[in-house]
Amino acid sequence: MPLPKAELHLHIEGTLEPELAFELAARNGVTLPYATTDELRKAYDFEDLQSFLNLYYELMAVLRTEQDFADLANAYLARAAAQGVRHAEIFFDPQAHLSRGVSMGTVVEGLWRALGSWGSPRASEAERGGERNHGISTRLILCFLRDESAESALETLEAAKPYLDRITGVGLDSAEVGHPPVKFREVYEAAAALGLRRVAHAGEEGPPAYITEALDVLGVERVDHGLRCMEDPALVERLVRERIPLTLCPLSNVRLRTVDTLADHPLPAMLDAGLMCTVNSDDPAYFGGYAGDNFTAVQQTLGLPEDRLRELARNSFLASFLEDDEERRAR
């Protein structure tokens, strides 16, 4: 039995496996610039975040209909459930779809078709539970692309207004360096006023100062990645004191060369420092593993003992946006 866990850092578009990409391409009459799944897999040799993002956005061309988004999310839930995931807080990137003429409604309704509202406080009894959702409760987090303009982020939030009963929070992703959190102050203030929870990627490739800014200017409750906090002892002390959860993604860090090898990953030092770490998969189809694979990798390569693994799993539920009673049930 894999350790029950929550996944808090997962881009649904990053769960698009090559086989499904080709299936959807055929269904939608989209031609991919790769002849076979093997050829596509060969392109998964990334130098940095941007080289990954180029392929990530390119492959999204196959996602066109509600059913495509439903199929994508169902495939993720099946894989995640097999690895012990009981709860998933799922990022999606509407701007990457709106720019291709795919509407907010298509994306949200499609994802919702698969995710349903298992465990959602807003769900009716009839909507809860059941095999349909692989027993995984979910939340949706709308991410703004930080390499797009602040105006575009505001327009995206506006487009999401009819769907806010299905969206728990907002996040910030895509190319980090040169796009500091402060650029998105206004849209985060608007999101907070709408009652949305707030998270942001910070300190993946960007400097520790972006982590501080995400906390102070955007009011985030969790930091996605946050790896580079280790360069600033005063920031580490603050994150420990304020119990700010970090959603780490070890296999992603290796594939995007944020760390040289998994053996060099600072996770053990971060746990020893008292940081509230969680382990997640980021874009599992591209980075070589789902949540359980990330747990196994850090156990085997970093030699994390059982109690540390249990701490990581416990942190994942504590850092989630589940209500207390739901959190206890999910564990």
What does the per-residue mask of binding to ligand HPA show for 75-114, with x meaning CB under 6 A?
A: ----------------------------------------
Binding of ligand HPA by 201 (CB under 6 A): yes
Task: Specify whether the CB–CB gap between 104 and 23 falls below 8 A.
Answer: no
What does the per-residue mask of binding to ligand HPA show for 243-272, with x meaning CB under 6 A?
A: ---------x--------------------
Binding of ligand HPA by 179 (CB under 6 A): no
CA distances (Å), 263 to each of 94, 186, 267, 302, in order?
35, 40, 10, 6
Reference 107, options 60, 148, 145; nearest CA is 60
Q: Which does 71 bind (CB under 5 to 8 A by kind): Zn ion, ligand HPA, none?
A: none
Does 134 appear as a known binding residue?
no
| Cross-strand pairs, 277 | 246
Taking the complex as a whole, how short is the minimal distance between the CB of residue 53 and ligand HPA, in angstroms? 6
DSSP state of 267: H
Among 14, 181, 226, 250, binds ligand HPA (CB under 6 A): 14
Taking the complex as a whole, how short is the minimal distance between the CB of residue 92 and ligand HPA, in angstroms? 10
Q: DSSP 3-state assignment of 276?
A: strand
Residue 186: which residues within 8 A CB-CB, separation 6 or more? Answer: 150, 154
Based on CB atoms, which residue is closest to ligand HPA, 15 or 320? 15
Alpha helices in 118-184, H assignment, sequence order: 150-160
- The torsion of the CA quartet 284, 289, 293, 295, rounded to 10 degrees, works out to -50
Distance CA 274, CA 101 (A): 45
Residues catalogued as catalytic: 204
Among 282, 290, 295, 304, binds ligand HPA (CB under 6 A): 282
Distance CA 312, CA 306 (A): 10
Q: Which does 278 bind (CB under 5 to 8 A by kind): ligand HPA, Zn ion, none?
A: none
DSSP 257-301: TSSSSGGG-SHHHHHHTT-EEEE--BSHHHHT--HHHHHHHHHHH
Among 106, 133, 138, 174, binds ligand HPA (CB under 6 A): 174
Binding of ligand HPA by 327 (CB under 6 A): no
Among 204, 215, 246, 290, binds ligand HPA (CB under 6 A): 204
DSSP state of 131: G
Does 283 appear as a known binding residue?
yes
Binding of Zn ion by 282 (CB under 5 A): yes
Does 11 appear as a known binding residue?
yes
| Site of tokens 């693994």 | 309
Q: Which residues bind ligand HPA (CB under 6 A)?
A: 11, 14, 49, 56, 173-174, 201, 204, 252, 282-283
